[in-house]
Amino acid sequence: MILKTIKLYNFRVFSGVHEVNLEPKTTSNAPNHRPIVLFGGLNGSGKTSILSAIRLGLYGRNSLGVTTTNDEYTAYLESLIHQGNSTSDSKDSASVELQFEYNHNGEKHNYTVIRSWKKGQQDNIQLFHGDSLKEELSNEQSQGFLNELIPIGVADLFFFDGEKIAELAEDESGVILRTAVQRLLGLDLVAKLQSDLSILLKRSDIQKMPENVKKQITKLEEQQRNHEQQAELLENKVTTCRTSIISIKQQLAQTEQLLSQNGGEWARSRQDEQKKVDELLIEKTYLEKIIRLELDSFLPLSLAPKTLSQLMEKLENESRLKTQIAFKSELETYIHKVSLELKNNINNSSTVMTSLNNVAKNYKQNINESELVFDISDRELANLQFQINDASLDSKNRFLESRDRLKEIEYELEKAGTNIARAPDKERLDEQLKVISILNQTLTHTLLERKELIHETKREYREAASSAKKIQHLHNKYRDDDIASESIQNAINAGNLLSEFSERLKLSRITLLQEAFIDSYKKLARKEDLRLHAEIDPVTFDVSLIDDQERKINRKSLSAGEKQIYAIAILEALAKASGHKLPVIIDTPLGRLDSKHRDKLIKYYFPNASHQVVILSTDTEVDQEYLDWMSDSISHAYEIQFDQTNRSSTLKSGYFWKNDIAEVI
């Protein structure tokens, strides 16, 4: 299939008529195949409108999902009608015209589909084969024909945007991948056939049942349908919640980044810093009090250690002198008593007394009472010894410890003051802080809502399964041992055969899918030397990456960019396994990738993704360097320019800084 042209009329940001050539060109300057058609535009200019228009042109209401109601689709169509300030023929209608070439059984066929609508009305489809309008087809028949040509389940693998990639990358339930694989392998059709055969068998059984049992089964079938329909609606709401959660997280990350750029990190820490300052000031006051107490106490005694040492030596000498003086007094008394005793009992006592007096005289001569200056008591001396030798040292240690801590506090206060000074005033950041608060509240509410919806969905499925089990029980109870007819037997055999076919088909294609995925992942991943292989669960269809040590790599541990590469590899593998040759259309594919992952995508994915690749990019995604890298693969390029005055976009040849399309080629 080749998309040749798309014509937009009053579609979203495009006022009036805009026709774009999408077919890759081959020129004399570019004889080799150049598959890429590049669209460049700033955010909000209308890039996504191109992808939306192609999907709408081909699939109509199904482009929004199978559960979209008529009223919802009508409202959606009305929202697509351009409402800018520019003048146009009509602001109440719009249309999308898509011309494409389709190869069927080796023959090329040209088709044109025109989908037009007016405000408040459903769309109308005109389908041309060549130049001939297929008037015999109604709207529903035309849509059915388009669905047969390009099934929407397969087209989802070729027409996608950054949001689709992000949704698949973050999907931990495996629902998105499982649905894609089932559609790819045609298992959804097999399941529908099995369901139809089951209905046929049940109808056959019902004919043999009593009327009251038939009514009971009818009631149970209605209950089962209601529960299944309610479960499907809840599943869609769960998917919507999941998409909302991803979007809210992205908005939250962007707002937090903006807050950080405006000094938000300092602002967030300002309160903590102020609290820290308050605590430090309290500690500073306490330490200053301790230092003053030490100054009033024994600390001064530690300031003159030499002088105090001399003083203590003097005092200790005086203490010894006082002991000697006391002993002298006692000695004199004692000699007097001895003298009296000798006189009374010994006749010749003068010689003995002379000896004693000489000894006492010599002892007295060595005592100099004039050296006694301070004359303090022993108790006072002991108190001074304690104060100078013990208390003053302890006081000095406490003083030094408090002084050192006080220095640290002064440094921390200075640093905290600098941090507080860096923080902008809270008023400057109130808007971002308010947005972050609202987004966090919304995220919490949405997460709780999703959890509740999942719980309700499981309950509805359990109720539906319970009704189905009761119905089956009644069928088994009233089913005859002999099959009523050959057609019933054939239906049973066909059902068994479809089950076996479904299992064999899954197993045969899973190997191909695994190989295609790992080839694509290794080609796009940043770690080329990592030896990996993939395993796909045949029940859940979830893809697991296995390293060379046979260890499963946890997808949650992958970065956002690695998850996106993982998702793109899955899409490429599914596209290859589908067997369809369709164009690949990618809207803003590089948003969450780092530079190395972007390099890989630019070099190895875009030029080889398909025979026709339409890329919708901003100037920061495909920049000048990447444009040069892809120049050999680019057929032509367009720039989408948005005019703020009339709120409308226009297309011109070229790409941002390259106005001449020849330069791109």
* Diameter of the chain measured on Cα atoms: 174
Higher per-residue pLDDT: 343 or 141: 141
In this prediction, residue 304 has a pLDDT band, given cuts at 50, 70 and 90, of confident
End-to-end CA gap in the chain: 23
| Six token digits for residue 308 | 């105090």
List helix spans (H) across 525-588. Answer: 560-578
Q: Enter the DSSP assignment of 655.
A: B
- If one counts every other C-beta atom within 10 angstroms of the C-beta of residue 237, the result is 17
Residue carrying the six token digits 């998917």 = 239
Residues in the chain: 665
Share of the chain above pLDDT 90, in %: 9
Q: Please, are residues 325 and 369 in contact by the beta-carbon 8 Å criterion?
A: yes
CB-based contacts of 129, cutoff 8 Å, min separation 6: 109, 110, 111
Model pLDDT, residue 17: 92
State pLDDT tens for residues 474-486: 766 665 444 444 5
Could you tell me which of 139, 95, 91, 88 has the C-alpha nearest to residue 116?
Answer: 95
Asked if residue 403 lies in contact with residue 292, where contact means CB atoms within 8 angstroms, the answer is no
How far is Cα 26 from Cα 340, in angstroms, rounded to an integer?
151
- In terms of Cβ atoms closer than 10 Å to its own Cβ (0-12, 13-18, 19+), residue 472 is middle
CB 601 within 8 A of CB 574: no
- Six token digits for residue 332: 């004199």
Provide the pLDDT confidence category of residue 175 given band limits of 50, 70 and 90: low
- Beta strands 613-617 and 584-587 are parallel
What's the whole-number mean pLDDT along residues 566-574?
A: 78
Assess contact for 20 and 5: CB atoms under 8 A. Answer: yes
Q: Is the pLDDT of residue 631 over 80?
A: yes
pLDDT value of position 296? 84
Burial 100-110 (b: 16+ CB within 10 A, else e): bebeeeeeeee
Task: Tell me the C-alpha distance between 87 and 94, whole Å.
Answer: 14
645: tokens are: 């005055």
d(CA 141, CA 148): 10
The DSSP 8-state label assigned to residue 301 in this structure reads: G
**What pLDDT, on the 0 to 100 scale, is given for residue 224?**
85
Q: Tell me how far CA of residue 32 lies from CA of 150, 258, 632, 633, in angstroms.
A: 28, 45, 8, 9
pLDDT reported for residue 66: 65
Cβ atoms of 19 and 597 within 8 Å: the answer is: no
Contact 62, 231 (CB under 8 A): no
**Dist CA 561 CA 539 (whole Å):** 27
Q: Which residue has the higher pLDDT, 530 or 552?
A: 552
Give backbone dihedrals phi and psi of 84, rounded to 5 degrees, phi first: -75, -170
Looking at per-residue pLDDT, the higher value among 648 and 253 belongs to 648
pLDDT confidence band for 168 (50 / 70 / 90): low
Q: What is the pLDDT of residues 102-155, one digit of tens each?
A: 887 778 889 999 999 999 888 999 999 988 888 888 888 888 888 877 777 667
54/113 Cα distance (integer angstroms): 10
Residue 131 has a CB neighbour count (10 Å cut-off) of 7
The answer to whether residues 273 and 420 touch, using CB atoms and an 8 Å cutoff, is yes
- Region 270-292: mean pLDDT is 84
In the prediction, which pLDDT does 124 show? 92
CA–CA gap between residue 131 and residue 102 (Å, rounded): 15
Mean pLDDT estimate for the chain:
77
- Across the range 54-81, mean pLDDT stands at 86
State residue 440's pLDDT score.
87
Cβ–Cβ < 8 Å for 59, 152: yes
The two structure tokens encoding residue 418 = 């600098």
The pLDDT of residue 482: 41
Half-sphere exposure in the Cβ direction for 380 (13 Å, CA): 7
> Above 80 in pLDDT, residue 422?
no
d(C-alpha 452, C-alpha 435), whole Å: 25
pLDDT digits (tens, 9 = 90+) for 12-54: 899 889 999 999 876 555 456 789 999 988 888 888 899 889 9
Q: Using an 8 Å Cβ cutoff, are 125 and 97 in contact?
A: no
Greater pLDDT, 80 or 468:
80
**In the numeric block, which tokens belong to residue 250?**
């992205």
* 510-528 core/surface letters (b: 16 or more CB in 10 A; e: else): beebbebbbebbbbbbbee
DSSP label at residue 62? G
Check if the beta carbon of residue 42 is closer than 8 Å to that of residue 619.
yes
The token pair that represents 511 in the structure block: 């190997």
Structure tokens at 381: 């001396």
What are the pLDDT digits (tens) for 280-289? Answer: 889 888 888 8
* Segment 244-268 mean pLDDT: 70
Give the least confident one: 300-304, 393-397, 562-566: 562-566
Torsion angle of alpha carbons 211, 216, 222, 226, nearest 10°? 180
pLDDT category at 662 given cuts 50, 70, 90 is very low
pLDDT category of residue 97 using cuts at 50, 70 and 90: very high
Distance CA 42, CA 642 (A): 8
Q: Which of 234, 175, 237 is nearest to 461 (CA)?
A: 234
Q: Assign 487 a pLDDT band (cuts: 50, 70, 90).
A: low
Beta-sheet strand order (sheet of 14-21): 14-21, 2-11, 93-104, 107-118, 124-129, 132-133
Helix (H, G, I), strand (E, B) or coil at 27: coil
The answer, yes or no, to whether residue 534 has pLDDT greater than 50, is yes
**134 or 570: which leads in pLDDT:** 134
* CA-closest candidate to residue 179, choices 541, 635, 489, 651: 541
pTM of the predicted structure, to 2 decimals: 0.54
Q: Give the CA angle between residues 114, 120, 124 to the nearest 5°.
A: 20
Kindly state the average pLDDT of the residues 574-581.
73
Q: Has residue 409 got a pLDDT over 80?
A: yes
Q: Is 155 exposed, middle or buried (0-12, 13-18, 19+ CB in 10 A)?
A: buried
Tell me the CB-side half-sphere exposure of residue 242, using CA atoms within 13 A.
21
Indicate if the alpha-carbon torsion angle 572, 574, 577, 578 is positive or negative.
Answer: negative
Q: Supply the pLDDT for residue 99.
A: 94
d(Cα 329, Cα 331) in Å, to the nearest integer? Answer: 5
Q: Residue type for 111, please?
A: Y
**Highest mean pLDDT (candidates 43-47, 320-324, 342-346, 657-661):** 43-47
Rounded Cα distance between 236 and 449, Å, is 13
Amino acid 614: pLDDT: 92
Where is 159: in which H helix or E strand? strand 159-161
